[in-house]
Structure 1
Amino acid sequence: MGELRSKSEHTEAVRTGRRICVVVNTRSRRGRHLYPEVVRTLRAEGFEPIRLYPLDDPRRLRATLEAALDAKPDLLVVGGGDGTLSAAVKHVAHRDVALGVLPLGTTNNFARSLGLPLDLPGAIRVFHTGKVADIDLGIAGDREFANLASFGVSVEVAGKVKPWLKRVLGRAAYPLTALTILPHHQPFRAFITVDGHRHELLTHQLNIANGRFHGGWQVAKDISIDNGRLVAYQLGSGKRLRLLLETLTRATTGRWSSLAGGPFVVGREMLLETEPPMAADVDGEVRLMTPITIRTVPNGLRVMVPDHFVDS
C-alpha cells in the first residue's frame, strides 16, 4: 500500500494539518443521536472534516469507507460499535492513514484495548493530544481482526442477543443471553498447537484474543494489543454449571472468577482444531470453520491513541 511515514511525522500531520474524514454509523440509535454532537465537538476542537458520512445503511459501509479513504485523509475517524470498527480496520490496515476511534457501541472492546476515553469529548480530544501508534492485528484464515476470534456459546449468543436488550442492559446483555443458551449447549473438544506443543481441552467457550477486552471486561491485566502475541483461553470447562457460575459472576461483577483449565496459551501463531468442526466468530463475522490457523500481524494497523499508550 506504499511507504508509511514515521509515527512522529504522522502524528504531527494529524495535529497540525487536521486533514480528517468522518464516518459514523447512524443506523444505531446511539449513533443517530450522537452524530450532531460528533460534528459539533470535532469543530470545537479545531477539526473541519474534508468529508462527513452519516451512514444509515450498513450495506454501504465498505463503499463509504473506500470513498473516505480516496480523499487521502491523515486520520479516518469512525464512529460505531465493534462491528463497524472491525470493518474499518480491514480497510485502514497497512495504509498510511491512522484510524480515529469514536466508541459508540455497547461493549467498545477495541476502544478499551487502546486505552481510549469512552466519552465522546474525551475520545475526540485524543485526536489532537494523542499520538499515532502501530498496533498488531490478528489474522484467522484469510480474515484480519482487531480483537477476538471466538468459538462455542458466543457464536450462538451473537446471533440471538436482542438489540433492545443491548440498549437497555448494555454489555450485560451478552452474558445474560448466554444463560438462555447454556442449558442446551454441548461442550466440544479443542486442540491448540503452538510452537510444536499440542494443548487439549474440553469446554463450551474458547476465545483467542489479540485485544485486551471481551464483552467490555478486561481478560487479564498483562494482555496487550501491541505485543505480537495471541492469548487463547477457555471460559468454564466441559461442565455447564461451572460455565453458568462464571457467566453469572461476569454479568453481576464484571470480573473473572477464574480462567478454568489452567494458564493461558500464548503464542504468535496457533493451529486450532475442534471436535466437532465449529464456526468461528471473527470480530463479529461468522464465516470460517475449524480447523483454522490464527496468527499475529505485527504493526498491521495505524491508530490514534492517548499519549500514555505504550507503543512497542
Structure 2
Amino acid sequence: MSGADTPRRALLVVNKKARNGGLDLDAVKGVLRRGGIATVEPPPGETDCKALIHAHVGTCDMVILGGGDGTLNAAAQALAEAHLPLGILPLGTANDLARSLGLPADPLAAAEVIATVPARPIDLGCVNGHYFFNVASIGFSADLAGELTADLKRRLGTIGYAVAAFRLLRRARPFTVSIEHDGTVETVRTIQVSVGNGRHYGGGMTVEENATVDDGLLNFYSLEVAHWWRLLALLPALRRGTQGKAADVRAFQTTEVVLRTKKPRPVNTDGELTTYTPAHVRVLPRAVQVHAPDFPAPNFPAPDVPAPDFPAPSQARGRPSIFP
C-alpha cells in the first residue's frame, strides 16, 4: 500500500442514481490528486458496494463513497470488515450522516476534507445483523421509507420527506411494542420507535440534540401519542432533537435494546427497509474510520417543514406510558 512519498489509493464509488450522482467529478478528483490521493474507479455497471470494497482490500488505502445515506448504509458492514477509512461525498437528498459529522455540503469542500483531515473512529449501529450509521426505526418512519419514492426525492429534495409524511399522517395508528433494555421490560403503545446511532436522520430530523456518532451510545425515543395530529405539534422538537422532553415521548440512552411486536413489522435503517421485528439493536463502538472534523456539528440547514411550534412539557422523561 502507499508509502510516505506515494499517493494514497482510494476506491471511488459513486451512486449515479443518487440525487446529485450525475455530478461531473473532474474537479473533485483534482482536489483529491492535489491532496495526494489517486482514485481507482470500478468498471461501469459494477455497483455492489460490498463486493467492490472487499475486492479492493490490500490494493487500496481508503474508500470514497459518493451518494446519500442509502449508499452509505449499503457499504457499512463491508467498511467495518475491511478496516478501510471512509471518505464521503454527500451527493444524496438528505445526507444525514454528513450532517451529523459536520461535513460540508459542497462536494469540492468535502473532497478537501478527505484529502486533508485525518480519519477518526465512529460507531455503527447493528439491528438483526444489519449495520447502520444513523437510525433504526419501526412504525411511522418505516412506513414513510416505503412511501418515499426515488422520484419524489429527486424532484423535491428534502421537501419530499415532508410531502410523503403529510400523506401518511391520517393513516398513522398506534401499535404495541415491548421494549427490553438494561434489565427492564416495558410494553407501550406508540406511533414510532427510533434507535439512533448518530444525530440526524430522515431529511433533517434529529434523534437527540446532544448525540454524536462516537459516544458509544444509542439514543432511543418512542412517540407515545394518542392522535396523529400530535405529530404535527412535535415536528419542531423532532427537528431540534428535544422531543425527549415531551410528556408523551419516552427517551433514554443505552447500548442495546430489543423490540418485539405482536406481528412482524418492517425496520427502517438509514431510509432502507432491511429487516423485521423482533429487532435486536446494539451499538458497535469505533467500528469505522471516517475522514471528518474532530467535533461533529450540524452545518446543513434543516428542511423547511411547516409546523406549529409548541412548548415542551416540563414532565421528566422516563415516565410511565400514557396508555394502559
Query: Do the aligned partners of residues 156 and 279 (structure 1) sit closer, same or farther apart at CA in structure 2, a change above 3 Å counting?
Result: same
Distance in 2 (CA, whole Å) between partners of 1:217 and 1:55 is 35
Query: Do the aligned partners of residues 227 and 255 (structure 1) sit closer, same or farther apart at CA in structure 2, a change above 3 Å counting?
Result: closer
Normalization by structure 1: what TM-score?
A: 0.83
Tell me the residue number matched to 1:6: none
Q: How does 1:49-68 map to 2 (within 5 A)?
A: 49=39, 51-53=40-42, 58=47, 60-67=48-55
Distance in 2 (CA, whole Å) between partners of 1:307 and 1:287 is 31
Tell me the residue number matched to 2:32: 42
State the percentage of identical aligned residues.
35
Distance in 2 (CA, whole Å) between partners of 1:230 and 1:90 is 18
Distance in 2 (CA, whole Å) between partners of 1:263 and 1:184 is 22
Q: CA deviation at 1:31?
A: 0.9
Tell me the residue number matched to 1:225: 213
Q: How does 1:186-265 map to 2 (within 5 A)?
A: 186-215=173-202, 216-235=204-223, 237-247=225-235, 249=236, 254-255=239-240, 258-259=243-244, 260=246, 261-265=248-252
Matching of residue 129 in structure 1 with residue 116 in structure 2: yes
Query: Do the aligned partners of residues 276 and 304 (structure 1) sit closer, same or farther apart at CA in structure 2, a change above 3 Å counting?
Result: same
Amino acid at match of 2:289: R
Structure 1 residue runs without a partner (length 5+) = 1-9
Tell me the residue number matched to 2:314: none
Kindly provide the CA deviation profile for residues 121-155 of structure 1, in whole angstroms up to 9, marking residues without a partner as x.
22111123212211111111111211111111222
Query: Do the aligned partners of residues 54 and 156 (structure 1) sit closer, same or farther apart at CA in structure 2, a change above 3 Å counting?
Result: farther
Distance in 1 (CA, whole Å) between partners of 2:30 and 2:183 is 54
Q: How does 1:12-91 map to 2 (within 5 A)?
A: 17-49=7-39, 51-53=40-42, 58=47, 60-67=48-55, 69-70=56-57, 72-91=59-78
Matching of residue 149 in structure 1 with residue 136 in structure 2: yes
Tell me the residue number matched to 1:300: 287
Q: CA deviation at 1:37?
A: 3.7
Distance in 2 (CA, whole Å) between partners of 1:61 and 1:19 is 17
Tell me the residue number matched to 1:4: none
Matching of residue 277 in structure 1 with residue 286 in structure 2: no
Normalization by structure 2: what TM-score?
A: 0.80
Q: CA deviation at 1:262?
A: 4.0
Q: CA deviation at 1:101?
A: 0.9
Amino acid at match of 1:171: T
The answer to whether the 8 Å contact 2:174/2:191 transfers is yes
Distance in 2 (CA, whole Å) between partners of 1:300 and 1:306 is 17
Distance in 2 (CA, whole Å) between partners of 1:84 and 1:268 is 25
The answer to whether the 8 Å contact 2:114/2:291 transfers is yes
The number of aligned residues is 294
Q: Which has the higher helix share?
A: 1
Kindly provide the CA deviation profile for residues 57-111 of structure 1, in whole angstroms up to 9, marking residues without a partner as x.
65x44333333x2453222111101111111221110433101111111111111
Query: Do the aligned partners of residues 95 and 70 (structure 1) sit closer, same or farther apart at CA in structure 2, a change above 3 Å counting?
Result: closer
The answer to whether the 8 Å contact 1:129/1:307 transfers is no
Distance in 1 (CA, whole Å) between partners of 2:264 and 2:271 is 19
Structure 2 residue runs without a partner (length 5+) = 298-324
The answer to whether the 8 Å contact 2:224/2:249 transfers is no
Q: How does 1:90-169 map to 2 (within 5 A)?
A: 90-169=77-156
Kindly provide the CA deviation profile for residues 152-202 of structure 1, in whole angstroms up to 9, marking residues without a partner as x.
122222122233332343222113201111212321122211111223432
Amino acid at match of 1:204: I
Query: Do the aligned partners of residues 307 and 269 (structure 1) sit closer, same or farther apart at CA in structure 2, a change above 3 Å counting?
Result: closer
Q: CA deviation at 1:204?
A: 1.4
Kindly provide the CA deviation profile for residues 199-219 of structure 1, in whole angstroms up to 9, marking residues without a partner as x.
343221111101110122333
Amino acid at match of 1:191: S
Amino acid at match of 2:161: Y
